[in-house]
Chains A and B, each alone.
Chain A
Amino acid sequence: MNKLALIVLLFICIYADEPISPIPLKNNINTEKAKLGQLLFCDPILSQDNSTACVSCHDIYGGGADSRAVSIGFAGREGNIHAPSVLNAKYNFKQFWNGRAENLLEQANEPINNPLEHAMNFHSIEQRMNASPMYKEKFQKVYHVSFISYRLVLDAIVEFENTLTTPNAKFDKFLRHEIKLDKEEEEGYILFKQYGCITCHNGVNIGGNSFQKMGTFLEYTSKKEYPDRSKVTHDKNHKNVFKVPTLRNITLSAPYFHDASKQTLKEAIIAMSEHNLGIKLSDQEIEKIIAFLHTLEGERPYILDIK
């Protein structure tokens, strides 16, 4: 018995480094480019009917995600999945719920071309961009080009998205040994580890570095069909497999899950512990975990405060 406890302890001791790392404070960013990207990110000019901008579904001033269950795009068409947060997206190992984009550039390309979202293509984007004296001037200034190519539009947007990090969360400061967590928060973190949440939610983004099955332990059923990992790998075992979402700013990005089926964190935690951990948490434990999750709220991306 003691021997077993010892082994567990030993494992923890050997890997004493916390499996979560803080968001780097240094961000090697071309601000001019990023500001141009921000402009594009917020400009509905990138949608066919001038109705939808990137920011329409990715609330960079809130949790970075869409507070709606599914996003509404071009001509009011609904998307097929809950828009994930764009904040700290650069730390995700792949993009989209099912990881079909290797990076932000690939990601950004898709909604622009998606008929349900921006319903544009590179040609129409270039036409619109080059028709705009304001953009022509800005691209000339930033990229020193007289023709605005689609590639440069994406490049600016990606540069902007790369600035969308939320550093200095309380927990990051704790990791950097700058502060101590409150008792409840700390207990929440310990529970988070003990119950195994950490096995999937780890790394700088506390998630976003592996695919996992929604319902490993207990089958999870949705009302609808969602674009899960099986759509990429064509492996039926990968049904309900998604990229583990980041837990940074999770308290600010309700609703939860790919299907936005849970409105509150508590519901989401209960669902996750049932389906993926095979455990039942007490209310007290849930509260503690929520307290911990609150420490993951970071600062607003600095770029948003630059005029």
Chain B
Amino acid sequence: MVLGAVSCISIVYFYILQRNFSKNHREFKIALNSLQDNHQELNYLILQNSISVYSNQDQIAKDTNNLLVDYETLSQSHILNSSKYKKIQKDLLILKEQLKNNSQNVEEFLMLSAGIKNSLLFLTRHVENGIALKHNGQNIFFSAGKILKHFNDAIRMQDLDYLKNGNFLLPTDTTNQKIKDYATSFNAHSSFLMKKYPEFIQITKQVLSSNIDASINKIRTSFFTISRNDFAALDMFALILFTVFSSSLLGTIFLLFLYIKENKKLLETKESLEHSLSYDLLTNLYNRRMLEKKLKSSIAPHLLLLDIDEFKHINDIYGNAIGNLLLQKMARFIQVKLSDIPDISLYRLSADEFGVLFDDTQEVVVLSIAHMLEKEIAKHTFTIDDLELNVLVSISSNNVSPILENADLALKLLKKDYTKRVLAYQENLNLKKSAQENFETVALIRDALAEDRIIPYFQPIINLKTSKIEKYEALVRLQMKNGTILSPFRFLEVSKKTPYYREITKVIIEKTLATLKEYPSLRFSINISMIDILDEEIVKIFLSHLRENMPDSSRLDIELLESENIQNIEKVKHFIGEVKKFGSQILLDDFGSGYSNFAYFSDLDIDMIKIDGSIISEITTSERKLHMLKSIYQFSKGMHMINIAEFVETREMALLLKEVGVKYAQGYYFSQPLAKPLDYTDVSI
């Protein structure tokens, strides 16, 4: 910056200096040339004047004056202020003296010249007049002519030699008064010329041979010599200036470089700011973004994924505030437990999922740490306010790329396996394959829907007392392009995570209803899970179809599939109330497995209970199962609910069920699910 300013000022200074110098230089040169021109013109005019009889002397006066004016200009020239030109000032003083002398000489010359010319003119005229002289006046006339010739020659040649050795006076010793007067007048001018002429010649020579020209030339030469040095100095200055300018340019570049560097720092600061954004605000651990970043820069990453089991329950039971505090405590706990371990970083990846990233650490070590951590957490009681919480964690471990995805898959698998708390990802877990299969299944469902290959299969339900088919259960099937039929366990679970699930439900309802219309003496049932009922869209579809297909829809029953942890039982209750308006009956599916809850019967208006296949299939072999069957039957009877047994595979089973009093049965003993209901209704047991 300073350098730039200095170079700018220098450029201006140089410009002024250069301009002034050039101006002064020119001024001096012009004055010198003018002086010389004037002097030469003056010399010419003097020469002319010395030869001619008369001339206009204005120019001589003017030139003489101009010489002095030029000299003044010259001597006051600014360039002479410089000490280098002292030598010239000396020469100028000499020139001044010469000019002064010359000026006086010119004045003198003009004075002498006037007199000489006048006398010469007089003599010329006088000689002419001598023609008139008589007698020996003739000799006088000739003598006068001769003398005049000498004078004229002398003047023309500017040579005194013509006036040497001779008599330039006419004899006056005549008695003739006229001749005497003639000679006297002649002699007066002749002697005037003789006296003044040498002075005139001398002064003329002095004027014409003055050293002024030489002095001017000398001044010019030394002026140019000195000024050449000055110009050289100016050139040098320009060079220096150029150097300064260049270096300031370089300086600017350097500053620019600094700026870029500074900018880089700024970027780094920004990055660190972003880095701070990479922290999880709740636990102050790194967040998922940071993990992804860190994974990219790690050489040999090894990730532990830690998930709190049933964290959702904690949140549900104690509220998010406690849940968050638990997460913070967990984060601190993990931090403390792992504080001695080098090359690790801790993350909170999602709600209750933590990550521990190792870099370049042996797998054995990582796994032992995972086990240690799991055990420590299980042992530890987290105290939040006055609440004491014991939690378990599942930890998956993975060092196979893609790190996070594989760890996630392992964790998911681990969650399903209650026997293990720590699981290391291995290629042979085939987790990825199943994910791939999921993807393929989704594509399958999508295509099947598009090509109308989602179809209901119907399994007859037999009244054991009358041995007649009274009902059919509609079961969803996916028909492959080659005609093979896929059972729901191959695609239904996957479809539930996609929007296609509603589509499937809708298709099954529609097709079941269509079949139902063809068999007016039969009832049909459709499976629907309690979770489905929470989906308002599905409920809407269901109810609108029932409404549209009245009164046939009164023969469509609902097989309610029990789901884990139904939170909003009110919605289910409401749904049952709605479908019952159309005459549908409600059937509780798979009773006797899973969470089968008697509470349902107090809240829900259920007409039938389908006893789970796990009980039915063993009634002939297990006393316990038979007892369970009987208990369910008794319970159902008391509650005025009808029983259906599924998975009936043998006649023995059918007879036993009949004996117990179970009204309906279905299963392979009677018929597997069929594309269409049977043409007949009578079966033999």
Name A's B-contacting residues (CB within 8 A).
1, 4-5, 7-8, 11-12, 14-15, 17, 19-21, 91, 93-94, 102, 193-196, 198-200, 202-205, 209-213, 216-217, 233, 241, 276-279
Contacts and interface: CB of A to CB of B under 8 A. Distances in A.
Interface stretch (B58-66, B83-91, B273-281, B583-591): B58-66
Given A209-B60, A210-B60, A11 B53 contact: yes
Contacts of A7: 152
B415 interface: no
Nearest to B130: A1
Interface string B95-112: 000000000100100110
Given A4-B148, A4-B152, A196-B114, A102 B65 contact: yes
Contacts of A211: 107, 110-111
B111 A217 contact: no
A4 B149 contact: yes
A142 B188 CA distance: 60
Nearest to A210: B110
Given A4-B148, A102-B65, A278 B118 contact: yes
A30 to B, nearest CB: 22
A5 B145 CA distance: 11
Contacts of A204: 58
A4 B127 contact: yes
Contacts of A194: 121, 125
A196 B122 contact: yes
Contacts of B64: 93
A93 B54 CA distance: 18
B55 A216 contact: no
A209 B55 CA distance: 11
B190 to A, nearest CB: 11
A276 to B, nearest CB: 7
A103 to B, nearest CB: 9
A193 B192 contact: no
Given A21-B56, A277-B122, A200 B188 contact: no
Contact of B114 (A14, A15, A21, A200): A200
B518 interface: no
A276 B112 CA distance: 11
A11 B52 contact: yes
Contacts of B51: 11
Nearest to B127: A4
Q: Which of B110, B128, B145 has the most CB of A within 10 A?
A: B110
A205 B58 CA distance: 9
A301 to B, nearest CB: 20
Given A93-B65, A102-B65, A202 B55 contact: yes
B149 A203 contact: no
B121 A93 contact: no
B54 A196 contact: yes
A199 B118 contact: yes
Contacts of B113: 199
B188 A12 contact: no
Given A4-B145, A194-B121, A212-B111, A278 B192 contact: yes
Contacts of A94: 61
A194 B152 CA distance: 16
B28 to A, nearest CB: 23
B57 interface: yes
B155 to A, nearest CB: 10
* Interface magnitude class on chain B: 35 or more
B467 interface: no
Contacts of A1: 127-128, 131, 145
A210 B107 contact: yes
Contact of A209 (B61, B115, B125): B61
Interface of B: 48, 51-58, 60-62, 64-65, 68, 104, 107, 110-111, 113-115, 117-119, 121-122, 124-125, 127-128, 131, 145, 148-149, 152, 185, 188-189, 192
A278 B61 contact: no
28 contacts: A4-B127, A4-B145, A8-B124, A11-B51, A17-B56, A19-B54, A19-B55, A20-B56, A93-B65, A194-B125, A195-B121, A196-B114, A196-B118, A196-B122, A200-B114, A202-B57, A203-B58, A203-B61, A209-B57, A209-B58, A209-B61, A210-B111, A211-B111, A212-B110, A212-B114, A216-B115, A277-B122, A278-B118
A176 to B, nearest CB: 15
A202 B61 contact: no
A210 B152 CA distance: 24
A212 B107 CA distance: 8
A97 to B, nearest CB: 14
B53 A279 contact: no
B57 A279 contact: no
Contacts of A233: 104
Contact of A277 (B60, B61, B111, B118): B118
Nearest to A8: B124
A270 to B, nearest CB: 16
Q: Which of A202, A210, A217 has the most CB of B within 10 A?
A: A210
B566 to A, nearest CB: 109
A279 B56 CA distance: 23
Contacts of A276: 114-115, 118
B189 A278 contact: yes
A168 to B, nearest CB: 19
Contacts of A193: 54
B17 to A, nearest CB: 33
A12 B53 contact: yes
A25 B122 CA distance: 36
Given A202-B57, A278-B188, 10 more contacts: A1-B145, A8-B53, A8-B124, A15-B48, A193-B54, A195-B118, A199-B54, A203-B56, A203-B57, A241-B111
A209 B122 CA distance: 23
Q: What are the 3 closest A-B residue pairs judged by CB atoms, nearest first?
A: A196-B118, A93-B61, A203-B58
B114 A199 contact: yes
A212 B57 CA distance: 13
B118 A217 contact: yes
A233 B104 CA distance: 9
Q: Which of A194, A196, A213 has the most CB of B within 10 A?
A: A196
Nearest to B52: A15
Contact of A14 (B52, B56, B62, B131): B52
Nearest to B61: A93
Nearest to B64: A93
A138 B145 CA distance: 68
B182 to A, nearest CB: 13
Given A11-B52, A12-B53, A212-B110, A217 B121 contact: no
Contacts of B149: 4
